[in-house]
Amino acid sequence: MKCPLCGTEFSVGDPAACKRCPLAGSGCNLVCCPNCGYEWPAESKVITKMKDVLVKLGLRHETGQ
């Protein structure tokens, strides 16, 4: 994952990303950057699947995220 605010690359589910959050461990649907603390909603599984299909069809380039 890459933070859209600071550009730091990290793994989703990295415990360091959620250590400052009071909702840590509750299964919230936010992704948090371990570097700057910026939070944004996680991409839904439907959107991820649709992007994968578009890449396979050659209608979208893979972004590497």
Structural Rg of the chain based on CA atoms: 14
Question: Would you say 31 and 3 are in contact if contact means Cβ atoms under 8 Å apart?
Answer: no
Question: Would you say 34 and 14 are in contact if contact means Cβ atoms under 8 Å apart?
Answer: yes
**Residue 61 identity:** H
Residue boundaries of the structural domains of the chain: 1-65
What number is the average pLDDT over the span 40-46? 83
Which residue, among 36, 39, 40, 32, has the nearest Cα to 15 in the 3D structure? 32
Please give the DSSP secondary-structure letter assigned to residue 8: -
Please write the tens of the pLDDT for every residue from 4-33.
Answer: 999 999 887 666 666 666 766 666 778 888
Confidence class of residue 59 from pLDDT cuts 50, 70 and 90? confident
